[in-house]
Every structure is written in structure tokens, then in C-alpha cells.
């Protein structure tokens, strides 16, 4: 019997992730008991986060942390600061993290969390006070052997440093392994800051190889979202010879028909924070960027940006999902029906971040740290092997790359749950 989902999960992204899970479960003929257990998270925590603003007043915002499944190991997932964060969104992202970790063979489960706030207007001190209070509120929900947070949209290594320090102060001694994605000086891993973007590129290289193509100066790229993931992917691709035609952020998109000078773009951002006003390129909207005629499109911003209407007008040959859930269900059907666009799904394309987060976690537990070349090489090996496995499965079963990835990840979780059995029996 399939129980009706609780109303508090109602959210477009959660509905999308649920539908993807149900489609994959049907193809797998998944055990009904496993199905009912995996379609909702293990636990969810909603907290109020009061913090003091610089003017002395107190602001109260909502914070969340969701645990989806820990059959394979401790919960793992990012913390995002964004005004649209809600319970449904973090529940959906926690579920995706479960499949992602299983897919790339990490001994971790899926979690996600965040605060419902736009961090951009806040001062550094306000963000620090908010972060420390949020950490204290979820203190009993996280732990280095229980749930290990990491940065996500709207957060960074400094936020992770504050989380690590707050947790350590509460427990009375330094516990660097409580978070990943923190600065190297306090136990972070070399290569972590660019890991997600670099992983996207490793997937692209494997996809080109599968298509019997190579990356060169004729390889044109557009990237929606020039944050941590998008900028790292752009830098890596440009270094390999590709031409990045367009990038965008929340303010605008910029386009140059001969390719952008990324050094100048980066210098502009360092001085002005946003892309808006960049003088050496044409200004375009995010929607226009998505519909440019390029070989590779990387949506690396937020979910649901490629709608059914945009999908019908896509002119790219490949989509590498740097963001989680950037393609709506309706758009996914359009793209699948077109059969002229190769999609590298989010659960694989952006797995580089959690892979190197895993590396950081085990380096911290062992107090033994690796060189950056070792980190990158080991991530490349994991990503490449996962891609090849998924691609072969998709060819054998005649399913999309997304469906192949979901089926493989869910099947592994299912087999592990059946092996462990049901408690209390």
C-alpha cells in the first residue's frame, strides 16, 4: 500500500525527485517495503534561528536539516543559504545525495540543510552570527560519525570554518572532521574548492570519448551560474582548449561570439562582485544563454531553470548538470524525445564535490593529508569509472543516462538495506 505523502513535503523539486525515484523503482521492480521506506526521509529537523543584526535588532529565520538514508554510512550533504530554501527542497536534495553517494561507491548517506534567507544583503558579521546560532541549534543532529555538512549554494569555506569552530567550542575540543569544504589551514582538503566544477569537466571528457569526439578549440560552452561550480568548470574547460562563449549570474549573462576572456571576467568579479556591467561582452538574459547554439551547456545555478518551453528551443549537443535538478520533468521528456542532446545527470555530473568531501573527511580522521594531484587523480578515477558503468548500463537497458544512474544508485541502496535487514524485526 502506498501512503499519501505529507503536505509539508509539497514542493516542485520534491515532486520531481519523487517522480524520478518512482519511475526508477518501477523499472527495478523494487521491493515494496524498500520503496515505501526510501520515498520519504529518515528524519527532518526544523529550527528557528534568531541572530543579531548589526543595528542591534534580532532577526528570526527558519533553518532545516534533513536525513534521508544512512544505510551505507553517515549522512552527508550541503548547507545552503537562499531565500527559497524550504523543507521540500532540502528533502529532495537529501534524497539525491543518497543516490549520488551510492552511485560513486562512497560509504555515506544522503542529507541536506539550509537557512531560508538571502545572504547577499548581510554583512560578514551577521552571516557569522547566524551561522554560529544555526550550528548550535542543529548540534545534536550532526556529528563526525553521524552527519557531516558541507558548503552549498550561498555558503563557502568560511561558513564551514564557523560551523566547525562552533561545534568544537560546544564539545570542548577541536573537531575539524565535523564539516568538509573548510579552509586548508584548519583541515580542509587540497582540491576541494574546485572539485564539483572539475568533476563536471571529467564527466564531459568521458561523454565526448563515448561519442568518439574530442575537446578542442571548436568546443563551445555556455555556463549558467558563474559561482563556485560554474567558474571552476569554465577555468578547467578553457585550460583544455574549449571556448567559453557565455556565463551568467543572478544579475545578468554575458556573451562574446569569439569566446570570453575568463581572466578579465574573474578580475571584474573580484572588483565588482557581480557580472553586471562587464564592458567587454554583450549582455544577455539567463534564458537567452540557455538557448545559445553551443556544443556544451552547463546549468550550474539552481533547479528548474530549463523548462518545457526552453527545452524545445535548446541548440546544444550536450548538457552537463552542474546544479541539482536544473531540468524540469516536462523538459526532461522533451529532451528525451528529441534524442539529439546527450544529458549527463546531476547525480553523476556534480558528484565531484561529495567525492572530495569524502576524501577530506577521511584525511581528517586519519590526520594524514594528500597532495592536490592525488586528490584530483583519485576523483577522476571514481568519476570516470562511474560514468562508464552508467553509460554501459544505459546502452544495455536502452534507458537514458539519468534513468541508468538512478537505477544503479537505488539498486545498491536496496540491496544494502535487504542485507542489513529490518529493525527491530
The whole-angstrom distance between residue 55's C-alpha and the CA centroid of its chain comes to: 34
Report whether the peptide linkage leading into residue 388 is cis, meaning its omega lies within 30 degrees of zero.
no
Name, in order, each residue with C-beta under 8 angstroms of 416's C-beta and a sequence gap of 6 or more.
Answer: 71, 72
The whole-angstrom distance between residue 51's C-alpha and the CA centroid of its chain comes to: 27
Name, in order, each residue with C-beta under 8 angstroms of 27's C-beta and a sequence gap of 6 or more.
Answer: 399, 403, 407
Q: For the chain, how big is the Rg over CA atoms in Å?
A: 21
Name, in order, each residue with C-beta under 8 angstroms of 319's C-beta and a sequence gap of 6 or more.
Answer: 296, 297, 298, 299, 306, 327, 335, 341, 342, 343, 344
Told to judge if 397 belongs to the known catalytic residues of this protein, a careful annotator would answer: no
Residue of 76, 100, 112, 182 with catalytic role: 112
Cell readout for 418 is 535487504
Closest Cα partner for 380 from 352, 404, 353?
352
- Dump the DSSP string for 198-261: HHHHHHHHHHHHHTT---STT-EEEEE--SHHHHHHHHHHHHTT-EEEEEE-SS-EEE-TT---
Please state, in angstroms and rounded to a whole number, the distance separating the CA atoms of residues 172 and 157. 22
Q: How many residues are present in the chain?
A: 425
Strands of 43-52's sheet in order across: 43-52, 58-69, 109-116, 75-82, 147-151
Please state, in angstroms and rounded to a whole number, the distance separating the CA atoms of residues 281 and 158. 32
- The catalytic residues are 112
Amino acid at each position: 500500500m502506498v501512503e499519501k505523502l505529507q503536505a509539508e513535503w509539497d514542493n516542485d523539486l520534491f515532486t520531481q525527485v519523487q517522480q524520478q525515484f518512482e519511475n526508477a523503482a518501477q523499472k527495478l521492480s523494487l521491493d515494496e517495503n524498500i520503496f515505501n521506506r526510501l520515498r520519504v526521509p529518515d528524519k527532518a529537523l526544523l529550527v528557528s534561528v534568531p541572530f543579531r543584526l548589526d543595528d542591534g535588532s534580532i532577526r528570526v529565520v527558519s533553518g532545516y536539516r534533513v536525513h534521508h538514508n544512512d544505510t551505507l554510512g553517515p549522512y552527508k550533504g550541503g548547507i545552503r543559504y537562499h531565500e527559497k530554501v524550504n523543507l521540500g527542497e532540502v528533502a529532495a536534495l537529501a534524497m539525491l545525495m543518497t543516490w549520488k553517494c551510492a552511485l560513486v561507491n562512497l560509504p555515506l548517506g544522503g542529507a541536506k540543510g539550509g537557512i531560508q534567507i538571502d545572504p547577499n544583503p548581510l554583512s560578514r558579521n551577521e552571516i557569522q552570527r547566524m551561522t554560529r546560532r544555526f550550528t548550535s541549534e542543529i548540534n545534536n543532529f550532526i556529528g563526525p560519525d553521524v552527519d557531516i555538512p558541507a558548503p552549498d549554494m550561498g555558503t563557502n569555506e568560511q561558513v564551514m570554518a564557523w560551523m566547525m569552530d562552533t561545534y568544537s567550542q560546544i564539545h570542548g575540543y577541536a573537531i575539524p572532521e565535523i564539516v568538509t569544504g573548510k579552509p586548508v589551514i584548519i583541515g580542509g582538503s587540497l582540491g576541494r574548492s574546485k572539485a564539483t566544477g572539475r568533476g563536471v569537466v571529467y564527466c564531459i571528457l568521458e561523454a565526448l570519448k563515448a561519442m568518439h569526439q574530442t575537446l578542442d578549440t571548436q568546443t563551445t560552452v555556455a555556463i549558467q551560474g558563474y559561482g563556485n561550480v560554474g567558474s571552476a568548470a569554465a577555468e578547467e574547460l578553457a585550460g583544455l582548449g574549449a571556448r567559453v562563449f557565455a556565463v551568467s549570474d543572478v544579475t545578468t549573462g554575458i556573451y562574446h561570439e569569439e569566446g570570453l576572456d575568463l581572466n578579465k571576467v574573474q578580475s571584474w568579479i573580484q572588483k565588482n562582485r557581480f557580472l553586471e556591467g562587464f564592458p567587454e561582452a554583450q549582455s544577455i538574459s539567463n534564458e537567452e544563454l540557455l538557448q545559445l547554439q553551443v556544443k556544451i551547456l552547463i546549468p550550474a545555478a539552481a533547479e528548474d531553470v530549463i523548462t518545457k518551453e526552453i527545452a524545445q528551443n535548446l541548440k546544444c549537443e550536450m548538457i552537463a548538470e552542474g546544479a541539482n535538478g536544473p531540468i524540469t520533468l516536462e523538459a526532461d521528456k522533451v529532451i528525451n524525445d528529441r534524442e539529439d542532446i546527450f544529458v549527463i545527470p546531476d547525480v553523476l555530473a556534480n558528484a565531484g564535490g561529495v567525492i572530495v568531501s569524502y576524501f577530506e573527511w577521511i584525511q581528517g580522521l586519519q590526520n594524514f593529508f594528500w597532495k592536490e594531484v592525488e586528490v584530483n587523480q583519485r576523483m577522476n578515477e571514481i568519476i570516470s569509472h562511474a560514468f562508464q558503468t552508467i553509460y554501459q548500463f544505459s546502452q544495455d537497458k536502452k534507458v537514458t543516462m539519468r534513468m541508468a544512474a538512478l537505477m544503479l544508485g537505488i539498486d545498491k541502496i536496496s540491496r544494502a538495506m535487504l542485507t542489513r535487514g529490518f529493525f527491530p524485526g
